[in-house]
Amino acid sequence: MEKLLIAANWKMNKTIGEAAEYIKDFIPRLAGWDRVEVVICPPFTCLAHLSEALQDTGIHLGAQNVFWESKGAFTGEISPAMLLEMGCRYVIIGHSERRQIMGESDQDINRKLKSASSSGLVPIFCVGETLQERETGQARDVVLRQLQQGLAGLALQDLVIAYEPVWAIGTGLNASPTDAQEMCGYIRESLGMIRDQSWAAAIPILYGGSVTAVNIAGFVEQQDINGALVGGASLDPEQFARIVRLNTDA
Ligand code: PGA
């Protein structure tokens, strides 16, 4: 993989004014640093502003959700074309909060993945087990099911996978780098079985779940971890810049 990819998932945080302040503070902190591709996924309402503010910075824009239909009577939903028009390159699909709170099924996620990737967006497809599933030895089966059902019938396209164990999200309880590597290695192996090995080898696999400036380096030095999806610690520009710089002074 050429570069690491580190994505900020702001979730339902920041008004346009707050986003503008953040960007002003954040951009200068990345000066001289090009080892990481950075993606910011703000709420829909900040996309237009950030699309302008991030021009010529090399930082990519992503959305946190998308609907599978291209237009019509779907109150409250947003289409892939609308996101592309806002300058989005990426879109998070299948986040555990959407699976758990909004009741998204593997079938819904499959439709979203198909629609987003055929429109030219790069999905950041989230998978991961709950604590109960891990404790009962089902973690691999759950992740494999999410991958198989999510990717069913999908053409070979650009894709990013984010392994986010549900018990590690927003809890301060990150997976250990070796546990995360074990699952990310299994994910790559599974992608190879689902499609083909050379495609699987080129797919960036991110770890997500309580990533901070303190633990980022331990994750990205693992063989099958190509970056991170960061929630809470991405909300502060100084913290997120330290994560993107892998907490080095380089
Ligand atoms: P967290 O969230 O970094 O706050 O644990 C990660 C995510 O939900 O993508």
Atom in ligand 1 nearest the alpha carbon of residue 9: 9
The token pair that represents 1 in the structure block: 């993989």
Angle of helix 177-194 versus helix 139-151 axis, rounded to 10: 40
Q: Confidence class of residue 249 from pLDDT cuts 50, 70 and 90?
A: low
The token pair that represents 9 in the structure block: 């998932």
Question: CATH homologous superfamily for 4-244?
Answer: Aldolase class I (3.20.20.70)
- Whether 95 is a known active-site residue: answer yes
Q: How far is the CA of 208 from the centre of ligand 1 (A)?
A: 6
Q: pLDDT tens digits for 31-45?
A: 999 999 999 999 999
- The β-bridge relationship of strands 122-127 and 60-63 is unpaired
184 class by beta-carbon count within 10 Å (0-12 exposed, 13-18 middle, 19+ buried): buried
132 class by beta-carbon count within 10 Å (0-12 exposed, 13-18 middle, 19+ buried): exposed
Q: Where are the alpha helices (DSSP H) in 5-60?
A: 16-29, 47-53
pLDDT at 177: 97
CB-defined site of ligand 1, < 6 Å: 9, 164, 169-170, 208-211, 229-233
The phi, psi pair for 75, rounded to 5°, reads -50, 125
pLDDT at 250: 47
| Average confidence (pLDDT) over 187-211 | 96
Give residue for tokens 């991961």. Answer: 128
Q: How far is the CA of 14 from the centre of ligand 1 (A)?
A: 16
| Average confidence (pLDDT) over 149-178 | 93
Cα(188)–Cα(186) distance, integer angstroms: 5
Q: What is the mean pLDDT of the chain?
A: 96
Q: What's the number of CA atoms in the CB half-sphere (13 Å) around residue 115?
A: 23
Q: What are the structural domain ranges in the chain?
A: 4-244
Find the catalytic residue in 95, 97, 104, 133: 95
How many angstroms separate the first and last alpha carbons of the chain? 20
Ligand 1 mutation pick, 160, 210, 240, max ligand atoms within 8 A of CB:
210
